[in-house]
Amino acid sequence: MTIVVQKFGGTSVESYEKMQQVCNIIKNYKEKGLDLVVVVSAMGRKGAPYATDTLINLCKNVNENSSKRELDLIMSCGEIISGTILTNMLKGNGIDAVFLTGSQAGIYTDGKFSDSRILDIKPERIYKELDEGKVVIVAGFQGTTESGEVTTLGRGGSDTSAVAIGKALECETVEIYTDVDGIMTADPRVEPEAKVLDYINYEEVFQMADKGAKVIHPRAVEIAKSGSIALNIKNTLNPSHPGTRISGMSPKFEVNKEAKSLHTMTAVAHKNGIAQIKVKSKEDIFTEIMNEIESNEISLDMINFFVEEKAFVIDHEKLKILKDILNNHDLEYTVKENCAKVTLIGTKMTGIPGVMAKIVRALSKSKINLLQTSDSNMTISCLVEEKDMKSAVHAIHDEFKLN
Ligand code: ASP
Ligand code: MG
């Protein structure tokens, strides 16, 4: 039996009309004789009546410090609502289906509320339902501990559920349905010339997600890579479009043997809401400060440590707590708020000369102030002021001819 795992995101199930489209896709696959496991997100995004954020607010409205355990319970309801409706709609369309919560589907987690990892999937129940010819609808984003506590997998975690189930069922491919034709070379709301990529490798898509692009949950990519599962990103409203395929080494690169070509760059990601910190350092106490930063779960990025000065960036949300730490130690520092990180991504940029030079030229031609940079073997990140973010994405996208 060939099992296909499909995941439908929040926008794909936000209304009865959209769900009907999901039913049509499922019906099509069923008619081809495939066995289907369908993972769903909660209905709609922020503001929608049964969206995850709405459910969180139901608790937070009565207590800003709602307990994580209860928040996970209420959050888990979003996917139960969408999944049960979709199951009933399928049955109404003459397709036999059954809905399973994360726990009923055998998804076991480590018990960390709001940010659990999946430890194990016991797929017996899923197999049993498939054997009976049913489409199995599973609530994404949730699982259970061995002792029965419901936990969620971190925001956007339905992707992770789908890929983990695909791995447990030994599928070759998992299909992720969303509201665009595939993964694009940049966020199309920021860069009008962004285009859909037909192919991207695990590392690049992981970097895109990590550097702020809302493409797919990074943990889902990790699991896909560990199980060598290809992911097809597709549009629920345009299912005949081939979408973007995510797997190992990109054929685009293998075909393009000209390793020196700058066309091997793949995408530009961006992330707003960043603050740049520069601390006049007193070596002796900096270790202590780093310990406090760690214990407060503040993650530092674009780290540049010199003897005289330590420069790094953090998310705005963590700014207050960081300032408290620095003030407590009487340190001299400056903060530049409202910055954005713009990152060029391409697996094979290592060894290609002139990538940084091109970026610097492109930004300077557009009169953008480059505040700081950092790089890895497949990324170059530029810190700019938020007001320059759009032009920076455009300048880099254009310079490397990603369109
Ligand atoms: N509904 C959850 C969220 O909004 C999980 C997901 O959609 O992937 O984060
Ligand atoms: Mg998502």
In the chain, where are the structural domains located? 3-246, 265-400
Estimate to the nearest angstrom the gap between the alpha carbon of 390 and the chain centroid: 21
pLDDT (tens digit, 9 = 90+) per residue, 23-80?
A: 999 999 999 999 999 999 999 999 999 999 999 999 999 999 999 999 999 999 999 9
- Name the strands in the sheet holding 142-144, side by side, starting at the edge strand that comes first in the sequence: 118-121, 107-109, 142-144, 150-152
| Confidence category of residue 255, pLDDT binned at 50, 70, 90 | very low
User: Measuring CA to CA, how many Å separate 278 from each of 220, 272, 291, 326?
Assistant: 34, 19, 18, 11
Per-residue model confidence (pLDDT) at position 338:
98
Which ligand 1 atom lies nearest to the CA of residue 154? 9
Among protein residues, the one whose CA lies closest to atom 6 of ligand 1: 156
Separation of CA 327 and ligand 2 centre (Å): 38
Q: Is the pLDDT of residue 336 over 70?
A: yes
Cα–Cα distance for residue pair 179/236, rounded to 1 Å: 6
Same fold yes or no, 3-246 and 265-400:
no
Cα–Cα distance for residue pair 382/20, rounded to 1 Å: 43
The two tokens of residue 312 are 């790094």
pLDDT (tens digit, 9 = 90+) per residue, 259-285?
A: 444 457 999 999 999 999 999 987 678
Per-residue model confidence (pLDDT) at position 252:
53
Q: Is the pLDDT of residue 328 over 50?
A: yes
Per-residue model confidence (pLDDT) at position 262:
45
Per-residue model confidence (pLDDT) at position 257:
44
Cα–Cα nearest to 133, from 1, 35, 27: 35
Sign of the torsion formed by the C-alpha atoms of 398, 399, 402 and 403? positive
Ion ligand 2, residues whose Cβ is below 5 A away: 9, 156
Q: What is the mean pLDDT of the chain?
A: 94
Among protein residues, the one whose CA lies closest to atom 5 of ligand 1: 156
Residue 375 marked as a ligand binder = no
| Confidence category of residue 89, pLDDT binned at 50, 70, 90 | very high
Per-residue model confidence (pLDDT) at position 263:
56
User: Measuring CA to CA, how many Å separate 361 from each of 34, 38, 72, 122, 395?
Assistant: 52, 47, 48, 54, 9
**Residue/partner pairs of 281-287 with CB below 8 Å, 24 or more apart:** 281/305, 281/306, 281/307, 281/308, 281/309, 281/310, 281/331, 282/331, 283/307, 285/329, 285/331, 286/310
Is 155 close to ligand 1, i.e. is its CB under 6 Å away?
yes
Cα–Cα nearest to 81, from 52, 105, 57: 52
The two tokens of residue 142 are 């949730």
pLDDT (tens digit, 9 = 90+) per residue, 9-34?
A: 999 999 999 999 999 999 999 999 99
| Confidence category of residue 256, pLDDT binned at 50, 70, 90 | very low
Query: Is 3.40.1160.10 the CATH classification of the domain at 3-246?
Result: yes
Residue 190 marked as a ligand binder = no
Cα–Cα nearest to 265, from 344, 156, 183: 344
The two tokens of residue 182 are 């595939």
Cα–Cα distance for residue pair 45/9, rounded to 1 Å: 10
pLDDT (tens digit, 9 = 90+) per residue, 358-391?
A: 999 999 999 999 999 999 999 999 999 999 999 9
pTM of the model: 0.90
Per-residue model confidence (pLDDT) at position 392:
98
Query: To the nearest whole percent, how much of the chain has pLDDT over 70?
Result: 96
Four-way CATH pick for 265-400: 3.30.2130.10, 3.30.540.10, 3.20.20.70, 3.30.980.20: 3.30.2130.10
Ligand nearest to the CA of 51: 1
Per-residue model confidence (pLDDT) at position 253:
47
Is-contact 330 289, C-beta < 8 A? no
Residue 305 marked as a ligand binder = no
Q: Is the pLDDT of residue 339 over 80?
A: yes
List all residues 6 or more positions away from 230 whose beta carbon is below 8 Å from its beta carbon.
172, 173, 174, 224, 245, 246, 247
Query: To the nearest whole percent, how much of the chain has pLDDT over 90?
Result: 91
For 145-266, where are the E strands, in sequence order? 150-152, 173-178, 199-201, 230-235, 244-247
Q: Is the pLDDT of residue 249 over 70?
A: no
Per-residue model confidence (pLDDT) at position 282:
74
Cα–Cα distance for residue pair 232/224, rounded to 1 Å: 11
Per-residue model confidence (pLDDT) at position 284:
73
Per-residue model confidence (pLDDT) at position 84:
98
Estimate to the nearest angstrom the gap between the alpha carbon of 266 and the chain centroid: 17
Per-residue model confidence (pLDDT) at position 250:
54
List all residues 6 or more positions away from 147 whose beta carbon is below 8 Å from its beta carbon.
111
Q: Is the pLDDT of residue 81 over 80?
A: yes
Is 141 close to ligand 1, i.e. is its CB under 6 Å away?
yes
Is 44 close to ligand 1, i.e. is its CB under 6 Å away?
no
Q: Is the pLDDT of residue 229 over 80?
A: yes
